[in-house]
Amino acid sequence: MGLKIEEARVIVCCPGRNFVTLKIITNEGIYGLGDATLNGRELSVVSYLEDHVIPCLIGRDPHQIEDIWQFLYRGAYWRRGPITMSAIAAVDTALWDIKAKAAGLPLYQMLGGKSRTGVMVYGHANGRDIEETVEEVGRYIEIGYQAVRAQCGIPGLPSTYGVSNDKMFYEPADADLPSENIWSTSRYLDHVPKLFEKLRQVHGWDVHLLHDVHHRLTPIEAARLGQSLEPMRLFWLEDIVPAENQEGFRIIRNHTTTPLAVGEVFNTIWDCKNLIEEQLIDYIRSTVVHAGGITHLRRIADLAGLYHVKTGCHGATDLSPVCMGAALNFDLWVPNFGIQEYMRHAEVTDEVFPHHYYFSNGFLHPGESPVHGVDLDEKLAAKYPYQRAYLPVTRLEDGTMWNW
Ligand code: EZ4
Ligand code: CO
């Protein structure tokens, strides 16, 4: 009678931070896991899965990944959006996990095999001032990172994106209600070039340096930042403007050769189609959990490949180890791989999600494991119930709401 989906359930837990995980179980006992975590909006995806997706899955053949994807995407009538696409991603990842387990092969083998020996990752260094950030970047280089993202406190601003007391596990969703950051573009634009000049002076030119602007600038301001950073040869400048109005990228592109990365908040190929086809970006940041799973991310990567755009999957701590495992398998296969973000999870997260992948000398490796190689200890997870947590919001110095 063949493999059938017998049961599916959503597990919500908070080992250090909130995670939503979908577990799909088959009649033959093989199960698959998919990450469905949407930072700060977790329970909406839980409801979408439990109330509207799981009832449609029971009894289906889990091998029909493409048909189930199309059913959930086209069949909903209401297409796209982060909630829908995170839910679809969780189903898709869990089904790829089942397919790989049934075949007894690592997931990357199902996609077409390895294209490289390991996956270059970048870590997050941050400090309250330039001195501390330079030190932290040094710490990452010592651990073996070949690529480091550097974020720094801005003089005159009490707090800003990317800077925290916790150096290895930066988690922005830090409060029961949104905390507030204050933003000043002029203070920021004056300060960031000084940080990267110092980083090059101290750490030299062998390390790849990255920076995340986190949607704060306008296109012409972004162009200025890109220009002023050109001598420091960044690997990329990320989310330099909010990406709803994509024509703005043409302005940036006309002014600077600093490579641009965007797309961690994108959820389908339609969000990045023009940016890619018009060659306005260099790296696409979409990842498994927020862009419809492996099935859809593969389509984005293939389109990107035609236009010299490489992948640079989002990999902050809100992407669960299940997503990291799936992304790592994807990265091993994808021909136009660029880099993978890898922010370490807290120890307690790793205990709840035992996994085979490991970091060595700046690269992630899948380890000796079938499938995506990440499991969930449900008993342990139950000890860490959901805790409401919001991402911060940003206001300008005069109180005006801005982009976080
Ligand atoms: O703010 O993952 O590149 N990484 C980032 C992250 C995001 C969080 C949002 O949930 O921009 O820190
Ligand atoms: Co980012």
- Indicate if 25 and 59 belong to the same structural domain: yes
Q: What is the pLDDT of residue 114?
A: 96
Catalytic residues, by residue number, are 161, 214
Q: Cα dihedral sign for 365, 371, 100, 36?
A: negative
Give nearest CA residue, ligand 1 atom 5. Answer: 316
The per-residue pLDDT for 88 is 98
How many domains does one find in the chain? 2
The residue contributing the CA closest to ligand 1 atom 12 is 316
* Same-domain pairing of 100 and 74: yes
- Strand arrangement, sheet containing 401-402: 180-183, 393-396, 401-402
Both 78 and 157 in one domain: the answer is no
The protein residue with its alpha carbon nearest to ligand 1, atom 8, reads 316
Residue 356 Cα to ligand 2 midpoint, Å, equals 26
For residues 193 and 298, state if they share a domain. yes
On whether residue 268 sits in a domain, the answer given is yes
Whether residue 231 is found in the same domain as residue 85: no
**Which of 106, 138, 155 marks a domain boundary?**
106
Instruction: Please check whether residues 100 and 122 belong to one and the same domain.
Output: no
214 CA to centre of ligand 2 in angstroms: 6
Q: Which atom of ligand 1 is nearest to the CA of 162?
A: 12
Q: How far apart are CA 344 and CA 169, in angstroms?
A: 6
Q: How much is the pLDDT for 130?
A: 98
Going from the first residue of the chain to its last (404 residues), give the mean pLDDT of each consecutive group of 10, the final group possibly shorter.
94 97 97 98 98 98 98 97 98 97 94 96 96 98 98 93 80 91 96 98 98 98 98 98 96 98 98 98 98 98 98 97 97 98 95 96 86 90 98 97 97
**Can you give the residue range of the structural domain that contains 229?**
111-369
Say what the pTM is.
0.97
Output the CA torsion 267→16→348→41 (10° steps). -30
Residue 101 has what pLDDT? 95
Note whether 101 and 339 are within 8 A (CB): no
Residues 14, 87, single domain; the answer is yes
Residues 195 and 299 in one domain: yes
pLDDT at position 370, please? 60
Domain CATH number, residue 89: 3.30.390.10
Nearest CA to 334 out of 313, 363, 354, 359 is that of: 313
Q: Are residues 9 and 95 in the same domain?
A: yes
Note whether 122 and 204 are same-domain residues. Answer: yes
Q: Are 45 and 11 in contact (CB under 8 A)?
A: no
Q: Round to whole Å and give the CA distance between 193 and 225.
A: 8
Q: Are 17 and 316 in contact (CB under 8 A)?
A: no
What count of other Cβ atoms lies within 10 Å of the Cβ of residue 278? 14
On whether residue 403 sits in a domain, the answer given is no
- Best substitution site from 18, 164, 179, 318 to test ligand 1's pocket, by max atoms within 8 Å of Cβ? 318
Give the residue, out of 170, 212, 339, with the most ligand 1 atoms within 8 A of its beta carbon, to mutate for a pocket test: 212
Residue nearest to atom 6 of ligand 1 (CA): 316
Instruction: Name all residues whose Cβ lies below 6 A of ligand 1.
Output: 39, 172, 212, 214, 264, 314, 316, 318, 341, 391
Nearest CA to ligand 1 atom 10: 39
Based on the domain organization, do 230 and 185 belong to the same domain?
yes
Q: Does 73 share its domain with 214?
A: no
Q: CATH code at 139?
A: 3.20.20.120
Ligand closest to the CA atom of residue 391: 1
Residue 223 CA, ligand 2 centroid: distance in Å: 18
- CA dist 242 and 11 (Å) reads 32
CA distance linking residue 250 with residue 11, whole number of Å: 43
